[in-house]
Structure 1
Amino acid sequence: MSDTSPADPVGEAFEAQRDRLRAVAYRMLGSHADAEDVVQEAWLRLARQDAATIHNLAGWLTTVVGRISLDVLRSRQTRPEASYDDQLPELVVTADDGPAPEDDVALADSVGLALLVVLDSLGPSERLAFVLHDLFGVPFDEIGQILGRSADAAKMLASRARRKVRETERPTAAGREQREVVQAFLAAARRGDFEGLLRVLDPEVRLTVDTPDGAVVILGATKVAEGASARVAAGAAARGRAVLVNGLPGFVAWREDGTPLSVMAFTVVDGRIVAITTVIAPARLASMNLPDPG
């Protein structure tokens, strides 16, 4: 919560922008907790600023939130493994009986999660340019100022990011080829085939694991492959089946006593896995409406 007062005109103006700023920061960072921290930091900077010198408060605040978010994204890149207390988006798990026309409907329902997942595969500058321009309509000259680049360079970054996003949003995202990539990953993990895992993982793949202690993020194909064999082998020792998770190809494993062990969702772009979301937190698993074991 901020320290703004209803009698404070600057505070009132900020509160009018708070929801939009929070949305910008969340799309940038994928974390509600981090987004709240960024918005609060923006308020603190505004409180130290002479409001009379700000001619466009909304634009000024967007620039500040963008720059703080960019710093957070860049700091994450310097730490290949980091923990976050934020909850993952809600996951809807349905039985996967093979490619069917209904897959397109499931994918349409999953665009929110799919977009967050693919944004995590973008570089910080790409992500900022795409989020600010395509999702919030910020002009490229303003984006360029945040990035310290020209408007044309910002436009190129957004275009590159847009292509990656479109690849994820294609109707085939849960289709046959994507399923085959996921099956190859699972098979390689069960065999302990490290090279096989690297062949299907994007070099910058992002693994997010929802644990009882919060979300843990692991970046990079080597680190993800190193832990994949043990993780999947544990699931393979129990009962498991292919599923769709918010329209994305996935896998659910159950223990012998019928309690759920894990849920995995995969995002596949150009024949490689760019993101994996795994839920192992018992409370989160218990709250999900999972199909019966196959």
Structure 2
Amino acid sequence: MPPLPAHPQRQKHADVFERSYGHLLSYARKLTGDRADAEDLVQEAWCLTDGSPPESVASPFLYLRAVIRNLFVSNLRRRRRQAESALDTDSLEQILPADQPSPEEVVMARLEMERLTGLISAMPPRQATAVRMYHFENRKLKDIAAHLDISVSFAQALIASGLADCAEELDRACPR
């Protein structure tokens, strides 16, 4: 099958592009500072013009230079917008809490745990056992009830009452 005849204007533009590719690449490299980016910019300009400039263009070379410049400016603006909208990881670290608690938080938690342990120890034995089994051993209410030989609802009431007493005492000792 013979090749399709080329449109005269498109062929003229392709010849100009071929002859001036080195100059266009050099111009694009001055803009971008990188050969690979410059090649991409020249290729994008060629594809964008679809191989031929409008008929009113007197100089296809100058037209392609203008397209390259406009593409470069558009890409630069897009990158700036993306950079502005992206979160800075340094500021993100300041906003988000750290994965590890601070030393002060560790000390405060230890002191509160010691205080809580003391409060649980001061409870009646069945209540203290129910609270320890539920919150420290992760036991189910039915297991606690069976161990203490009480009903499930009474085990739940013991735990709820014990936690309420602890919360009240902790709030009294250290109001927030």
Superposition TM-score tier, normalisation by shorter sequence? 0.3 to 0.5
The structure in which a higher percent of residues are strand is 1
Q: Over alpha carbons, which structure has the higher Rg?
A: 2
Greater RCO (Cα-Cα under 8 Å, separation 6 or more): 1
Larger helix proportion, structure 1 or 2? 2
